[in-house]
């Protein structure tokens, strides 16, 4: 019947939201590169499903427009607790081995008993959700295995945590998610003993297998002529791979602000995060295609860390500030790279530009919204100025030798790019 169906779908919706928040919260604190690249894509897929679930609940309850947690609290608390992993490898491992398979099984069971005619719209989008989850579980399995291998020091605690979460969920059959009354799971002492209360990383963690620097490229500390030819190609690719910071900042904004924001903010922030990791992947693939190994690729956390002492509105301001300042370079470089015959970089810039146009809309819309609801008299201009000051402060904190290390890394990248594309270096 409609009422119990709406109840179950509402439960699914809130579980998806919790899992999105868990992933967003962990993103900046994840060391393992492959996991860092995977999480935003999964978050976005989950957000698409969450939006469908929410819309369907509203349809089934029309004209009621409110969706509240009600007595689903204990179940959601358990899902939230799965984020209290002692380390990031454990968080990724648990997502792939326990949480996502558990939800996948619940969706499969729902589809097996739901009415294809009466509840057809739910069947339609839940089948897409199932396909996404099947793919996510397979990708997580491979990624978590690689993470355990790359970070063996985390393995023992990660596996113990995953085993404790698995034992907890073994008592929580996916069938219980289909019941009219919500399950009220107990949180076992074994889980409490292993958990480390979660806090989001305000300084982003980088995979040490890369060339980790305070400034990924010299223009981070000394903005100037971007150069031309291979220099511009190299610089753009390094900036692209370093957009990992923007994915982390979007995730942090989601984690901080979504719980009290309209649902559409979660939609937009998840998409924003996914787009930025796609830009990061553009750079990564470009550099790899030129023959660079991971340890030759400069990575920093500069722009994310600039927000470490700021509040969530200024963090949103930092990402907005960067987007608005550099958006013109996208279409310009699409033309420049195209004219140079670098079709891949030109293609990347074109798609990047399309995304950035949406992001400036997100930035304006949500900064405006949060300033109106909790801005305490601040304006877009004051937030932008605070964001700019935060970036300048971060620049001024550089350790001795940081700039020289950046120059050295940039020289090496350029040499590799020149080797791949041919040509002489130009003076910056
Ligand atoms: Fe971007
Ligand atoms: Fe962007």
Domain ranges of the chain: 2-194, 211-421
Instruction: Evaluate if residue 222 carries a pLDDT over 90.
Output: no
The rounded Å distance from CA 312 to ligand 2 centre is 17
Quick one: pLDDT at residue 11? 97
Residue 327 CA, ligand 1 centroid: distance in Å: 9
* pLDDT value at 424 more than 60: no
Ligand nearest to the CA of residue 236, numbered in listed order: 1
Which ligand has an atom closest to residue 349 CA? 1
426 pLDDT higher than 50: no
In angstroms, how far is CA 318 from the centroid of its own chain?
Answer: 16
How far, in Å, are 21, 25, 37, 155 from residue 30 at the CA level?
Answer: 15, 10, 10, 14
Tell me how far the alpha carbon of residue 356 lies from the centroid of ligand 2, in angstroms: 5
* Residue 363 alpha carbon to ligand 2 centre in Å: 9
Distance from residue 276's CA to the centre of ligand 2 (Å): 6
Distance from residue 57's CA to the centre of ligand 2 (Å):
31
Pick the ligand that lies closest to the CA of residue 348: 1
Q: Measured in angstroms, how far is the CA atom of residue 146 from the centroid of ligand 1? A: 27
Q: How far is the CA of 345 from the centre of ligand 1 (A)?
A: 14
Ligand closest to the CA atom of residue 269: 2
* pLDDT for the residue numbered 428: 35
124 Cα–ligand 1 center, Å: 32
What mean pLDDT comes out for the span 129-151? 98
Summary mean pLDDT of the chain = 94
**Are β-strands 298-299 and 211-212 bridged in parallel, bridged antiparallel, or unpaired?**
parallel
**Ligand lying nearest the CA atom of residue 319:** 2
For 339-396, write each residue's pLDDT tens digit. Answer: 999 899 999 999 999 999 999 999 999 999 999 998 788 999 999 999 999 999 999 9
The reported pLDDT for the residue numbered 388 is 94
Ligand at minimal distance from the CA of 321 is: 2
Q: Report how far ligand 1's centroid is from the alpha carbon of 316 (Å).
A: 14
pLDDT tens track for 53-91: 999 999 999 988 899 999 999 999 999 999 999 999 999
Model confidence over 21-63: pLDDT tens digits? 999 999 999 999 999 999 999 999 999 999 999 999 999 999 8
CB atoms within 10 A of CB 252: 26
Whole-structure pTM value: 0.96
Going from the Cα of 278 to the center of ligand 1, the distance in angstroms, rounded, reads 8
Dist. CA 428 → ligand 1 center (Å) = 24
Q: What is the pLDDT of residues 238-260, one digit of tens each?
A: 999 999 999 999 999 999 999 99
Architecture of domain 211-421: Up-down Bundle (1.20)
Q: Could you tell me the distance, in angstroms and rounded to a whole number, from the CA of residue 358 to the centre of ligand 2? A: 8
Q: pLDDT tier at 427 (50, 70, 90 boundaries)?
A: very low
Percent residues over pLDDT 90 in the chain: 87
**Answer CATH for 2-194 from 1.20.1260, 1.10.3470, 1.20.140, 3.40.50:** 1.20.1260
* Å from CA of 10 to ligand 2 middle: 31
CA 27 – ligand 1 centroid, Å: 16
């Amino acid at each position: 019947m409609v009422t119990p169906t709406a109840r179950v779908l509402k439960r699914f919706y809130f579980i998806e939201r919790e899992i999105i928040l868990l992933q967003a919260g962990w993103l900046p604190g994840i060391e393992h590169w492959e996991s860092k690249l995977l999480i935003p894509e999964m978050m976005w897929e989950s957000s698409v499903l969450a939006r469908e679930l929410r819309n369907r609940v509203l349809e089934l309850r029309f004209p009621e427009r409110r969706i509240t947690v009600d007595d689903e609290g204990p179940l959601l608390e358990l899902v939230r607790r799965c984020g209290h992993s002692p380390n990031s490898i454990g968080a990724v491992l648990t997502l792939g081995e326990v949480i996502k398979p558990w939800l996948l099984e619940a969706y499969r069971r729902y589809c097996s008993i739901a009415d294809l005619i009466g509840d057809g719209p739910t069947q339609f989008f839940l089948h897409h959700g199932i396909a996404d989850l099947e793919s996510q579980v397979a990708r997580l399995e491979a990624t978590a295995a690689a993470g355990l291998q790359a970070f063996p020091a985390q393995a023992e605690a990660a596996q113990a945590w995953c085993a404790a979460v698995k034992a907890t969920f073994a008592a929580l059959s996916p069938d219980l998610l289909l019941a009219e009354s919500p399950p009220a799971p107990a949180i076992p002492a074994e889980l409490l003993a292993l958990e480390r209360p979660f806090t989001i990383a305000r300084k982003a963690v980088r995979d040490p297998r890369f060339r980790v620097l305070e400034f990924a490229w010299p223009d981070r500390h000394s903005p100037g002529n971007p150069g031309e030819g291979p220099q511009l190609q190299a610089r753009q690719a390094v900036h692209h791979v370093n957009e990992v910071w923007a994915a982390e900042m979007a995730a942090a904004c989601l984690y901080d602000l979504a719980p009290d924001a309209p649902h559409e903010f979660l939609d937009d922030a998840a998409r924003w995060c996914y787009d930025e990791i796609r830009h990061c992947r553009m750079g990564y693939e470009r550099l790899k295609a030129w023959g660079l190994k991971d340890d030759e690729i400069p990575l920093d956390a500069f722009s994310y860390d600039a927000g470490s002492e700021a509040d969530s509105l200024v963090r949103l301001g930092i990402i907005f500030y960067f987007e608005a300042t550099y958006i013109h370079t996208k279409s310009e470089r699409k033309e420049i790279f195209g004219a140079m015959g670098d079709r891949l970089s030109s293609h990347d810039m074109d798609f990047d530009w399309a995304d950035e146009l949406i992001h400036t809309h997100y930035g304006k819309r949500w900064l405006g919204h949060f300033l109106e609801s909790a801005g305490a008299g601040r304006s877009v201009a004051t937030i932008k100025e605070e964001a700019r000051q935060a970036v300048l402060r971060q620049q001024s904190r550089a350790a001795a030798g940081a700039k020289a290390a950046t120059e050295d890394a940039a020289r090496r990248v350029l040499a590799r790019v020149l080797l791949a594309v041919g040509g002489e270096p130009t003076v910056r």
